[in-house]
């Protein structure tokens, strides 16, 4: 096992998903040991671990409901046991239900609140207690907090809460040499994004940005890698990664 003092360690929640997997692979490419967190899909998490290790990186899979503080405490402890500490926490785990505010099923509102708000809070709380000096905490918002697309009301509201707690945590960690930022992707073709959209909708979103394409998970992973490594003077910010859409 490598020297714990020289190897940076990252925990990526939702690491079996589209953006989460791209983030895990990108960070591993920078020499960071990666813990790939999953909630229910062990097979996809194992695929991400295999992709990292076959490319010469170090990775393990850890599981747990992000909204369950006991499960996440255990997940963080598992990472610390394996790799000796945690330097970077990237919280990509999230759920999205789209409907007009007038008709949204309130059970879906509660589900988004549990994963997107409580889950981000639980992960941020563990990160605030455990991340080592020189580290980074990176939460995930969405560009829809500015775009204000119809049917995104509840989802955008949950991500607005993520932005609020992210900016407060950056100030609460004064003196710890830990940056806290949020990444707000624009349209990115992941299963979460593609669900329920017809081709015309997808094409229109692709043309909306000046760069005239959708983002790729790797585009978002580049922003995370920047915040996780060299970007030590960016703190308490929301970075919009959307090709100029807003």
- pLDDT at position 198: 81
Q: What tokens does 214 get? A: 């959708």
Residues 6+ apart with CB under 8 A from 153: 100, 101, 104
Q: pLDDT above 90 covers what percent of the chain?
A: 85
Average pLDDT over residues 70-77: 98
Quick check: 6 pLDDT over 70? no
Task: Give the burial string for 49-68 (b: 16+ CB within 10 Å, else e).
Answer: bebbeeeebbbbbbbbbbbb
Q: What is the DSSP letter of 131?
A: P
What is the pLDDT at residue 192? Answer: 66
pLDDT score of 3: 47
What is the band of 189 on the pLDDT scale with cuts at 50, 70, 90? confident
| Structure confidence at residue 1 (pLDDT) | 41
Q: Is the pLDDT of residue 21 over 50?
A: yes
In 3D space, the residue among 179, 244, 236, 228 whose CA is nearest the CA of residue 9 turns out to be 228
Name the pTM for this structure: 0.94
Q: Using the predicted structure, report yes or no on whether residue 245 has a pLDDT greater than 80.
A: yes
Domain ranges of the chain: 9-241
Mean pLDDT along residues 126-153: 96
Q: Is 152 assigned a catalytic role?
A: no
According to CATH, the topology of domain 9-241 is Rossmann fold (3.40.50)
The mean of the pLDDT values for the chain is 94
Is pLDDT of 65 > 80? Answer: yes
Beta carbons of 94 and 192 less than 8 angstroms apart:
yes
Band of pLDDT at residue 17, cut at 50, 70 and 90: confident
Please give the pLDDT value at position 24.
97
pLDDT of residue 2: 43
Which has the higher per-residue pLDDT, 190 or 73?
73
CA distance 165 to 120: 9
Which tokens hold the place of 149? 């697309």
In this predicted model, what pLDDT tens digit does every residue of 205-223 receive, in sequence order?
888 899 999 999 999 999 9
Choose the catalytic residue: 38, 152, 155, 240. Answer: 155
Residue 23 CA to residue 92 CA, distance in Å, equals: 9
Instruction: Quote the CA–CA distance of 91 and 66 in Å, as a whole number.
Output: 9
Residues 222-236 have a mean pLDDT of: 97
Classify strands 179-185 and 59-63 as parallel, antiparallel or unpaired.
unpaired
- pLDDT, residue 204, reads 84
Q: Which tens digits make up the pLDDT trace of 160-169?
A: 999 999 999 9
Q: What is the pLDDT of residues 89-100, one digit of tens each?
A: 999 999 999 999
Instruction: State the residue for tokens 């760069």.
Output: 211
Q: What DSSP letter does each residue of 142-167 carry, written as one string? A: -THHHH--TT-HHHHHHHHHHHHHHH
């Amino acid at each position: 096992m490598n020297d714990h003092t020289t190897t940076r360690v990252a925990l990526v929640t939702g690491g079996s998903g589209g953006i989460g997997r791209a983030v895990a692979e990108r960070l591993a490419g920078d020499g960071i040991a990666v813990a790939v967190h999953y909630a229910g899909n062990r097979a996809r998490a194992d695929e991400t671990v295999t992709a990292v290790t076959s490319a010469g990186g170090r990775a393990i899979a850890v599981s747990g409901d992000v909204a369950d503080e006991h499960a996440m405490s255990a997940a963080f402890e598992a990472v610390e046991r394996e790799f000796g500490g945690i330097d970077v926490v990237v919280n990509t785990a999230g759920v999205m239900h789209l409907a007009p505010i007038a008709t949204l099923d309130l059970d879906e509102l509660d589900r988004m609140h549990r994963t997107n708000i409580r889950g981000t809070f639980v992960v941020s709380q563990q990160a605030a207690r455990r991340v080592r000096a020189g580290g980074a905490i990176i939460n995930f918002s969405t560009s829809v907090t500015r775009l204000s697309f119809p049917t995104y009301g509840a989802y955008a509201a949950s991500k607005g809460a993520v932005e609020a707690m992210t900016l407060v945590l950056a100030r609460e960690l004064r003196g710890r040499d830990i940056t806290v930022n949020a990444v707000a992707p624009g349209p990115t073709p992941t299963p979460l994004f593609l669900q329920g959209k017809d081709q015309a909708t997808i094409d229109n979103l692709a043309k909306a940005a000046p760069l005239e394409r959708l983002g790729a998970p790797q585009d978002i992973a580049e922003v995370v890698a920047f915040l996780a490594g060299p970007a030590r003077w960016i703190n308490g910010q929301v970075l919009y990664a959307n090709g100029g859409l807003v």
